[in-house]
Amino acid sequence: MRFVLVRKSTAVKVLLLIIVAVIAFCGCYYTGSAVVWQNKTVRSLPIYRVGTEDKVVALSFDAAWGADNTLKILDTLTDYDIKANFFVVGFWAEKYADKLKTLSESGRVEIGTHSNTHPHMSKLSKEAIRPELTTSMSLIEEITGVRPELFRAPFGDYNDTLIDTAKEEGLFTIQWDVDSLDWKNLSASDIAVRVLKGVRGGSIVLMHNDGKHTLEALPLVIEGLKNKGFTFKTIGEMIYRENFTIAHDGTQIRS
- Is there a contact between 63 and 86 (Cβ–Cβ < 8 Å)? yes
Please say if 114 is a catalytic residue.
no
Distance in angstroms (rounded) separating the CA atoms of residues 183 and 211: 5
What span, in angstroms and rounded, lies between the C-alpha atoms of 159 and 180? 23
Tell me which of 118, 177, 208, 210 is the catalytic residue. 208
Which of 42-67 are b and which e, b meaning 16 or more Cβ less than 10 Å from the residue's Cβ? eebbbbbbbbbeeebbbbbbbbbeeb
Query: Distance (Å, rounded) from C-alpha 136 to C-alpha 145?
Result: 13
59 and 232 in contact (C-beta within 8 Å)?
yes
Contact status, residue 144 vs residue 111, Cβ threshold 8 Å: yes
User: Which residue in 62, 177, 182, 210 is the catalytic one?
Assistant: 62
Q: Does the active-site annotation cover 208?
A: yes
Dist. CA 105–CA 109, nearest whole Å: 8
List alpha helices for the chain, DSSP H: 2-31, 35-38, 70-79, 90-95, 97-105, 126-144, 160-168, 188-198, 214-227, 235-238
Instruction: Give the DSSP per-residue string, 145-177.
Output: S----EE--GGG---HHHHHHHHHTT-EEB--S
DSSP 8-state code for residue 88: E
Q: Which of the residues are catalytic?
A: 62, 208
